[in-house]
Amino acid sequence: MDTKRQIAILGSTGSIGTQALEVIRDNPERFSVEVLTANRNSKLLIEQALEFKPNAVVIAEEQKYNEVFDALDSNGIKVYAGEDAISQIVEMDEIDLVLAAIVGYAGLKSTLAAINANKQIALANKETLVVAGDLITSLARENGVNIYPVDSEHSAIFQCLVGEHQNPIEKIYLTASGGPFRGKDSDYLKSVKKEEALKHPNWDMGAKITIDSATLMNKGLEVIEARWLFNLKADQIDVIVHPQSIVHSIVQFQDGSMKAQMGLPDMKLPIQYALGYPERIKSDFKRFDFADYAQLTFEKPDTKTFRNLALAFKALEKGGNLSCILNAANEVAVDAFLKDQIGFLAIPDTIERVMDDATFVNNPTYDDYVTSDSEARELAGNLIKHIA
């Protein structure tokens, strides 16, 4: 790489954002930070900005603007506040690549803005494609924007497809760890608490994604994301539970051959691959040793107990705005579970009810997505009030 790649990290204080900064810290000759944004964690945003010296930062929570400004202005770092500022900042000419790492629906608007500004995207926000996959992918094609997946499973598929552009995909297999409740039945799940659900066996992630992993919704969202990233039909996507999380995903080609990408579970590897593509940058990440694993096992997911995965496939197959409705209801239900307002099994119950009751739109526009998200959140909130 002749010149440093200028990176904007949207969501720099979250799990993906902080790990991306570790990658950048280890490769100062390749990357520099142009923009950092955070929702409300002003303290960490200030620490990051003082270390990496970006051109500008944005704090979404406007009440914290003065705190951030006072800490950074004397260092020549521009400070902005508000959610709209995040969408505006990605238009800066100096930015080469935008790492979209804001969790949930909140990341959609800024990702659209980055694509409209012709910025290359490293996508860690799966909800962007879940909510508006048709809109995002068509806009990216029109603007000549590449989307590099950061999710470990989609990065694995992407890596398996390098050099295979002329060979059609027959099927892909997204692997799932099974989460902390693999093998448990509905009776067990009735009484689980958030503390148990937050103990993921293999990955270190934020609270929302960890709960999604426990309900298998994370895998459901990844199924929908894969449909758009790799232009697949629902019946070309399968999920297999792989408790060791060593095989990150598999591509099967029309001759029956299969390619898998493997490695120890470490999000820094797919982050680095996306930031540095097409180069594989040398790293000191811990290496996988076959001797440490007596066996690698695979099994079918239990979609009767963990219904969210089946609901995601239903949304994908019906199309329209149903994935947007699914995502909004899930975000509200997970938040309620984390606040001890509902039980674990009420999460899929809430989502299914909202999917049945919300207004279906077959060919949604951006405005339809905004309306659908709002309606689904209101429906989910009302359901939860009656449960709580």
Which CATH number characterizes residue 40's domain? Answer: 3.40.50.720
Of 28, 316, 307, nearest to 181 (Cα)? Answer: 307
Domain that holds residue 106: 5-149
* Interatomic CA distance for residues 163 and 204, integer angstroms: 31
Average pLDDT over residues 168-186: 95
Structure tokens at 108: 């959609």
Give percent of the chain with pLDDT exceeding 90. 94
128 and 168 both lie in a single domain: no
Handedness of CA 355, 359, 365, 368 (dihedral sign): negative
* Interatomic CA distance for residues 33 and 287, integer angstroms: 28
76 and 130 both lie in a single domain: yes
Give me the pLDDT at residue 288, please. 96
Q: Tell which of 121, 149, 177 closes a domain.
A: 149
Please tell me the total count of domains within the chain: 3
Give me the pLDDT at residue 200, please. 75
301 and 236 both lie in a single domain: yes
Domain assignment of residue 277, yes or no: no
Say which residues have a Cβ less than 8 Å from residue 337's Cβ, sequence separation at least 6: 194, 197, 211, 343, 344, 346, 347
189 and 256 both lie in a single domain: yes
pLDDT above 60 (res 246): yes
**pLDDT band, very low/low/confident/very high, at 55 (cuts 50, 70, 90):** very high
pLDDT above 60 (res 1): no
Domain assignment of residue 156, yes or no: yes
Whole-number Cα distances in Å, 143 to 112, 207, 379: 11, 34, 36
Which CATH number characterizes residue 335's domain? Answer: 1.10.1740.10
100 and 242 both lie in a single domain: no
Q: Tell which of 306, 336, 358 closes a domain.
A: 306
For residue 252, list its beta bridge partners: 171, 258
122 and 214 both lie in a single domain: no
Domain assignment of residue 272, yes or no: no
Average pLDDT over residues 349-363: 98
80 and 155 both lie in a single domain: no
Q: What is the mean pLDDT of the chain?
A: 95
Give me the pLDDT at residue 204, please. 67
110 and 133 both lie in a single domain: yes
Q: What is the pLDDT of residues 196-242, one digit of tens each?
A: 999 877 766 778 989 999 999 999 999 999 999 999 999 999 999 99
| Run of H or E including 301 | none
Nearest 5°: phi and psi at 195? -60, -35
Q: Tell which of 250, 279, 306 closes a domain.
A: 306
12 and 143 both lie in a single domain: yes
Domain assignment of residue 249, yes or no: yes
188 and 240 both lie in a single domain: yes
Domain assignment of residue 232, yes or no: yes
Structure tokens at 253: 């080609």
Q: What is the pLDDT of residues 310-330, one digit of tens each?
A: 999 999 999 999 999 999 999
Q: Say if residues 364 and 372 touch (Cβ distance below 8 Å).
A: yes
Of 343, 153, 173, 116, nearest to 248 (Cα)? Answer: 153
Give me the pLDDT at residue 2, please. 60
156 and 297 both lie in a single domain: yes
**pLDDT band, very low/low/confident/very high, at 105 (cuts 50, 70, 90):** confident
89 and 174 both lie in a single domain: no
Q: What is the pLDDT of residues 6-37, one digit of tens each?
A: 999 999 999 999 999 999 999 999 999 999 99
Domain assignment of residue 347, yes or no: yes
- The half-sphere exposure of 41 on its side-chain side, counting CA atoms within 13 A, is 17
Of 33, 139, 140, 8, nearest to 86 (Cα)? Answer: 8
- Residue 251: CB atoms within 10 Å: 23
